[in-house]
């Protein structure tokens, strides 16, 4: 008689709310801590995949509260499901871009990343989980919808009996027939960065006295930044701030924007400013770049990276094309036009870039939500963007400010701002969007002061590679002078609804490149309220966050 395998089948009931959003399933941590909640979702992932038996799964997260417990639950379920190997970052740590790099490097079947990104962590904050496919990128909608469909009918899941696995030492162990390999979370990513950027030139830049403050925000990028910036590149010790990942991010909100990383902005604008301030978010995929006296908007950053990528060894041959999410400013479009390469406009969500990258249509991608990246992985990548900037600074021997100003002088400036109304009532937010949709056909041709509406629509994306269609991705109001107002509801919040209003104006005249952004956009901001009735629908008279 053979010994019975310690696999057990656990009866469960569906949870109705497991539809993945813009980037996986994000909920309050306590929701995930309920019995079966995480396991149901993980089983639904496995049920939506075919042919993974005997293959490798990458597993890691941003180290937030509940990360370690979730890793143990998933290890046992993945072994019970029949994966041949599970590759885990030591301590359960892998930044989102590092997880993508490891999936690609190890030719894994896919990966599970535990993170709620820039959302705060802790028992009363947020947790999240997403599945990435073999190209290293977020699962496309076809898979996320299959996961959701399964989560609604799930009756049981399979797991293993047994003690927890040691994930704190590099090496391997076995869970029944599944090898569990614990890897250094930094090494593969670090080698990849060294292959893309001119580390010698950046080392010389630091050796010549260039100063930098990088705030890891007590989140996952600390170990990566210390190893690369202070270790490989010789940035002065102490250049990396808050470099120890903490389960609650030190009670902070690990979002590198002008609210939660305000101290960096203030430092960059002060007399004590280093040459560059930078930050990344909870899971390491977002970036913030501020030069001495010069904030760089994520949309401008994408455009400047596209225009200068050839200065980095990994992109010496030039870029094939550029992609940006629809609400991202159109600054990059001008660069693509000048370079004579393709430009693609996708819905919000990094998952929409995957097909374009896989097909070789684009090399760099970016989003207004502090995301930039390239074909080196299939996620946005915070440290990559910062290293790209360092490479550009080293090659051009100019300051961030000089580079931004020269870019505007050449291409014109896209004044740009996003106004967020966070945690508003869902009914009001839905009514606001419905009201806008009802106006779409009557808006074109109407004038509001000097602003004449040229077109208005609800953005739909037809993926040129797989033919899939994604509808209702944001209401756009386009004006004759090239200005835009875009409205969408966030797909990453965990309570109520978050309305995002994106406002953009193009200014070709360098004599008008010094306006304060909100002032430059004032008439569009007022019109955004007038067209949508934001106050009436949300009860708010001002945004909670302006970026």
Catalytic residue among 95, 100, 117, 299: 117
C-beta of 63 vs 274, nearer to ligand G16:
63
Q: Which residue in 127, 249, 295, 350 binds ligand G16 (CB under 6 A)? A: 350
Cβ 515 to ligand G16, closest distance in Å?
A: 26
Q: Choose the binding region for ligand G16 from 86-94, 184-192, 237-245, 484-492 (rule: CB under 6 A).
A: 484-492
C-beta of 239 vs 369, nearer to ligand G16:
369
The yes-or-no answer on residue 117 being catalytic is: yes
Which letter, b or e, does each residue of 14-28 get, where b requires 16 or more Cβ atoms within 10 Å of its Cβ? ebeebebbbbbbbbb
Q: Is residue 500 a contact point for ligand G16 (CB under 6 A)?
A: yes
> Which DSSP helix (H) or strand (E) runs through 128?
strand 126-132
Give whole-number Cα distances, 273 to 42, 70, 225, 263, in Å: 46, 41, 20, 11
Q: Choose the binding region for ligand G16 from 31-39, 261-269, 452-460, 490-498 (rule: CB under 6 A).
A: 490-498
State the helix-helix crossing angle for 382-396 and 298-308, rounded to 10 degrees: 50
Give whole-number Cα distances, 542 to 88, 529, 536, 538, 545, in Å: 44, 10, 12, 10, 9
C-beta of 369 vs 483, nearer to ligand G16:
369
Rounded to whole angstroms, how far apart are CA atoms 341 and 355? 17
Q: Which residue in 18, 22, 363, 417 binds ligand G16 (CB under 6 A)? A: 22
Residue 438, φ and ψ in degrees, nearest 5: -65, -20
Cβ 325 to ligand G16, closest distance in Å?
A: 6
The token pair that represents 333 in the structure block: 């479009």
Residue 9, φ and ψ in degrees, nearest 5: -105, 125
Which letter, b or e, does each residue of 61-90 get, where b requires 16 or more Cβ atoms within 10 Å of its Cβ? bbbbbbbbebbebbbbbbbbbbbebbbbbb
Q: Is 124 within 8 Å of 4 (Cβ atoms)?
A: no
Count residues near ligand G16 (CB under 6 A): 18
Q: Is residue 198 a contact point for ligand G16 (CB under 6 A)?
A: no
Q: Which residue in 286, 292, 484, 505 binds ligand G16 (CB under 6 A)? A: 286
Q: Is residue 349 a contact point for ligand G16 (CB under 6 A)?
A: yes
What size, in residues, is the chain?
A: 547
Rounded to whole angstroms, how far apart are CA atoms 281 and 387? 16
Q: Which residues contact 219 (CB under 8 A, 6 or more apart)?
A: 62, 63, 242, 245, 246, 249, 254, 280, 281, 282, 283, 284
Q: Is residue 547 a contact point for ligand G16 (CB under 6 A)?
A: no
Cβ count near 152 (within 10 Å) = 13
Q: Choose the binding region for ligand G16 from 216-224, 345-353, 427-435, 443-451 (rule: CB under 6 A).
A: 345-353
Q: Which residue in 211, 490, 517, 544 binds ligand G16 (CB under 6 A)? A: 490
Cβ 385 to ligand G16, closest distance in Å?
A: 12
Cβ 353 to ligand G16, closest distance in Å?
A: 9
Which of 177, 159, 42 shows the shortest CA–CA distance to 112? 42
Question: What residues between 356 and 415 interact with ligand G16 by CB under 6 A?
Answer: 367, 369, 371
Q: Which residue in 239, 492, 494, 547 binds ligand G16 (CB under 6 A)? A: 492
Cβ 302 to ligand G16, closest distance in Å?
A: 12
C-beta of 274 vs 382, nearer to ligand G16:
382
C-beta of 230 vs 281, nearer to ligand G16:
281
> Which residues of this chain interact with ligand G16, rule CB under 6 A?
22-23, 117-118, 281, 285-286, 325, 348-350, 367, 369, 371, 490-492, 500
Active-site annotation, residues: 117
């Amino acid at each position: 008689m053979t010994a019975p395998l310690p696999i057990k089948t656990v009866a469960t009931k569906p949870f109705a709310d497991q539809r993945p959003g813009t980037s996986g399933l994000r909920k309050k941590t306590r929701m995930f801590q309920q019995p079966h909640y995480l396991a149901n979702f993980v089983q639904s992932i496995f049920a939506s995949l075919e042919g993974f038996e005997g293959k490798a799964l990458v597993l890691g997260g941003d180290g937030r509260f509940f990360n370690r417990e979730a890793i143990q639950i998933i290890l046992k379920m993945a072994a019970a499901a029949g994966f041949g190997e599970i590759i885990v970052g030591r301590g359960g740590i892998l930044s989102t871009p590092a997880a993508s790099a490891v999936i690609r490097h190890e030719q894994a079947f896919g990966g599970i990343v535990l993170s709620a990104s820039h959302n705060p962590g802790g028992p009363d904050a947020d947790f999240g989980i997403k599945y990435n496919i073999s190209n290293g990128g977020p699962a496309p909608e076809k898979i996320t919808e299959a996961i959701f469909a399964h989560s609604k009918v799930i009756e049981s899941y399979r797991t293993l009996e047994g003690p927890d696995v040691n994930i704190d030492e590099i090496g391997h162990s076995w869970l029944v027939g599944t090898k569990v390999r614990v890897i250094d979370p930094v090494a593969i990513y670090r080698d990849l960065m060294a292959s893309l950027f001119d580390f010698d030139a950046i080392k010389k830049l630091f050796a010549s006295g260039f100063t930098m403050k990088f705030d890891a925000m007590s989140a996952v990028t600390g170990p990566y930044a210390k190893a690369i910036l202070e270790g490989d590149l010789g940035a002065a010790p102490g250049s990396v701030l808050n470099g120890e990942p903490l389960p609650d991010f030190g009670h902070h909100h690990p979002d590198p924007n002008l609210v939660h990383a305000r101290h960096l902005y203030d430092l960059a604008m002060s007399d004590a400013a280093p040459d560059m301030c930078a930050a990344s978010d909870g899971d390491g995929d977002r970036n913030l770049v501020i030069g001495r006296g010069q904030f760089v908007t994520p949309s401008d950053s994408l455009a400047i990276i596209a225009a200068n990528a050839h200065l980095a060894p990994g992109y010496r041959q030039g870029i094939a094309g550029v992609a940006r999410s629809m609400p991202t400013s159109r600054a990059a479009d001008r660069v693509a036009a000048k370079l004579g390469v393709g430009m693609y406009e996708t819905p919000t969500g990094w998952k929409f870039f995957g097909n374009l990258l896989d097909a070789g249509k684009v090399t760099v991608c970016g989003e207004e939500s502090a995301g930039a990246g390239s074909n080196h992985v299939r996620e946005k990548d915070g440290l990559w963007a910062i290293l790209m900037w360092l490479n550009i600074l080293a090659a051009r021997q100019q300051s961030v400010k000089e580079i931004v100003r020269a870019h505007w002088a050449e291409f014109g400036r896209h004044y740009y701002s996003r106004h967020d109304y966070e945690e508003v009532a869902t009914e009001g937010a839905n009514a606001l969007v419905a009201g806008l949709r009802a106006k779409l056909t009557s808006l074109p041709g109407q004038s509001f002061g000097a602003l004449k509406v040229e077109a208005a629509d609800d953005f739909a994306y037809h993926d040129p590679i797989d033919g899939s269609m994604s509808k209702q991705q944001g209401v756009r109001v386009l004006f004759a002078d090239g200005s835009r107002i875009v409205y969408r509801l966030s797909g990453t919040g965990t309570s109520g609804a978050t309305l995002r209003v994106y406002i953009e104006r193009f200014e070709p005249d360098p004599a008008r490149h010094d306006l304060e952004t909100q002032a430059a956009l004032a008439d569009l901001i007022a019109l955004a309220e007038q067209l949508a009735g934001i106050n009436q629908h949300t009860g708010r008279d001002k945004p909670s966050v302006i970026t």
